[in-house]
Amino acid sequence: MTGYQGPQRVLSGIQPSGGMHLGNYLGAIRKFVELQHKYDCFYCVVDMHAITVWQDPAKLREQTFHIAASYLAAGVDPKIAAIFHQSAVRAHAELAWIFNCVARLGWLDRMTQFKDKAGKDKQRASVGLYTYPVLQAADILVYKATHVPVGEDQKQHLELSRDIAGKFNHDFKADDFFPLPEPLIKGPGARIMSLRDGSSKMSKSDGSENACIFLKDDADTMTRKIKKAKTDPEPLPSEPKGLEGRPEAENLVGIYGALSGKSDAEVLAEYGGQGFGVFKPALAELVVEKIAPIGAELNRLEADPAYLKSVLDAGAERASVIADKVVREVKEIVGFVV
């Protein structure tokens, strides 16, 4: 960070583009819960990001409640942290436009997520998908957030947010107006891989049902998915070095470690030399123990959309107070008549 003197704030967001999975939990939400006791926290359901690819309107609404309910079920306390949906705080879109005029085409051209998501025919991708990281920078900086808990895949987008903040401060001679937000990525679970392919990340939009453990899966489904997870025929090594070149084994050991609070070395000290016939049932038991209660609470909360809506509305109101003030300051800096 530079000489930024403002309050330390946390913002993060998750897209309502599908069911919440173990990767989202370990890479993001679990950190949200810890951070709420240390910082002023804003947790957003980024519905405007979700529509950068087609979303069925009825499902989008349902999934927005699903993400909000997941935050709550995992332990985010709406009395402490603001939980809200992005489209309800118009300042995000206003700042995104101004940032569209700060960010450079060359910066966006380098974004690997656009390349992955646009696929072969990028002429058919939405313009929104291209400027997606600019809206993400606005999400963060409209609260002048200093810290952003995310999974490993968001590293590049966070660098872009820092670049936009730095260029804005520089171009408008507004020293330290925006902080350069720091990603909080480290820690076990920053990159959980698909259960079907150890080289691609566990993702909501993965075609294969069995690749992902969803928070809402019942105990039998979780167990079945883990038992079916792709592995190799070798037993587990007794040290982490032995996981090199064995991405599927590494992923399962990593999940065990992230959920049990043990390092890879500790997990392997216990299971080294054992085959997956022993390790998978132990992992399944741990996943069920840690995740099933969250799933049960999630189901309970989803049955009460009126409560979820009240949480989102209250969160949006709280968020708007800060965001509107920052946008007003930005408008003045840019030279708009306010």
* Segment interacting with ligand LTN, rule: CB under 6 A, options 6-14, 122-130, 200-208, 244-252: 6-14
Does 81 bind ligand LTN (CB under 6 A)? Our answer is: no
Report d(CA 133, CA 165) in Å as an integer.
Answer: 13
Sequence-distant (6+) residues with CB within 8 A of 286 are 256, 259, 260
Q: Find tokens 């883990």 and name the residue.
A: 226
Bridge partners (DSSP) listed for residue 12: 43
| CA angle, residues 292, 238, 211, in degrees to nearest 5 | 35
Other C-beta atoms lying within 10 Å of the C-beta of residue 259? 20
Q: How many residues does the chain have?
A: 338
Q: For residues 44 and 308, which CB has a smaller minimum distance to ligand ATP in the complex?
A: 44
Cα 129 from Cα 114, distance rounded (Å): 7
Specify the stretch interacting with ligand LTN by CB under 6 A; choose among 7-15, 63-71, 292-300, 328-336.
Answer: 7-15
Residues 8-67 that bind ligand ATP (CB under 6 A): 14-15, 17-18, 23-24, 26-28
As measured in angstroms, the least distance from the Cβ of 153 to ligand LTN is 7
Using CB under 6 A, pick the residue from 91, 150, 294, 326 that binds ligand LTN. 150
By CB under 6 A, is residue 254 in contact with ligand ATP? Answer: no
Instruction: Tell me: does residue 157 bind ligand LTN (CB under 6 A).
Output: yes
85 binds ligand LTN (CB under 6 A): no
Q: Which residues contact 164 (CB under 8 A, 6 or more apart)?
A: 99, 102, 103, 134, 137, 141
- Give the DSSP letter string of 219-254: HHHHHHHHHHS---SSPPPSSGGGGTT-HHHHHHHH
CB of residue 315 vs ligand LTN: minimum separation in angstroms?
A: 15
Reported in sequence order, the residue ranges of 147-293 that DSSP labels E, i.e. its strands, are 147-149, 182-184
Q: Specify the stretch interacting with ligand ATP by CB under 6 A; choose among 159-167, 203-211, 263-271, 314-322.
A: 203-211
Give whichever of 45 and 319 is closer to ligand ATP, judged by the CB atom: 45
Q: Which amino acids are annotated catalytic?
A: 117, 201, 204
Binding site for ligand ATP (CB under 6 A): 14-15, 17-18, 23-24, 26-28, 150-151, 153-154, 190-192, 201-205
Binding site for ligand LTN (CB under 6 A): 11-13, 15, 46, 49, 136, 139-140, 148, 150, 154, 157
